[in-house]
Amino acid sequence: MKNIEILPFDREYLIAAAKEAGFDLSDEQTDALEKYYEILVDYNNKVNLTAVTDPKGVAVTHFVDSLTLLNADIPEGARLADIGAGAGFPSVPAGIFRKDLDLTLIDSLNKRITFLNYLSEELGRPLTALHLRAEEAGRKKELREQFDVVCARGVAKIYLLCEYCLPLVKKGGMLVAMKGPEPEEEVKEAKKAIFELGGKLKEIKKFTLPDLSGRSLVIIEKTSTTPNKYPRQSAKIAKSPLI
């Protein structure tokens, strides 16, 4: 793998981009995100975590985009699970901005979990990183219906996210799917899955990032307990999706 040079991080650009998106970063938060950038790009030379490594790209595409998760009005002290967490987006930047959040990051690749544990130690930001497939996590008693918020950023279509994620959401909690500018067709396609798995569409929030790319949050409220037969094995989900 070709080594990627760690270019100087543009703190002022990050601060301005975050402010444009509605987030006023403190010096401490900016320091943490700058360190995150340096750790990410350096580690990316050993393990492929992201294709976006330039300072401004990381600032907007990863950090500011991740902060927009908080537009879902996440309650104080919420227990939050990030499904398909990858290099820690969106949960770690959101957790840097909101220290009160209790973070659990779930990913199917152990090399990412190793990175997330290293990142947590280097940043001094506690989190729990679990090497699990999402459908495995949803069947574990200690995780099932235990989270106030479950989020996923660009992982799968909404009807699939519902089966992966809603079993983890406690009644009264919410699933937040981070999507592109026009999620309506996916939402329509997921109508059966949302209902079957105990959810109800609460709202869709749309916004534009500082780089002018469109984003949305599809917020699904958990209104009833997910039936015990869900989540199914991945092969069954693929063979007979809830659409």
Give the structural domain span for 151.
75-239
Asked, for residue 196, whether it belongs to a domain, the answer is yes
Q: Is the residue at 176 inside a domain?
A: yes
Whether residue 189 lies inside any domain: the answer is yes
> Per-residue pLDDT tens for 79-113?
999 999 999 999 999 999 999 999 999 999 999 99
Would 63 be classed as within a structural domain?
Answer: no
The reported pLDDT for the residue numbered 2 is 58
> What is the pLDDT at residue 3?
73
CATH of residue 94's domain is 3.40.50.150
DSSP the chain: -PPPP-PPP-HHHHHHHHHHTT----HHHHHHHHHHHHHHHHHHTTS---S--SHHHIIIIIIIHHHGGGGGTPPTT-EEEEET-TTTTTHHHHHHH-TT-EEEEEES-HHHHHHHHHHHHHHT---EEEE--HHHHTT-TTTTT-EEEEEEESSS-HHHHHHHHGGGEEEEEEEEEEE-S--HHHHHHTHHHHHHTTEEEEEEEEEE-TTS-EEEEEEEEE-SPPPTT-SPPHHHHHHS---
Classify residue 170: in a domain, yes or no: yes
Predicted structure pTM score: 0.96
pLDDT at 6: 81
Number of structural domains in the chain: 1
Residue 219 lies in a domain: yes
Whether residue 4 lies inside any domain: the answer is: no
All residue ranges of the chain with pLDDT < 70 are 1-2, 4
Note the pLDDT of residue 203: 98
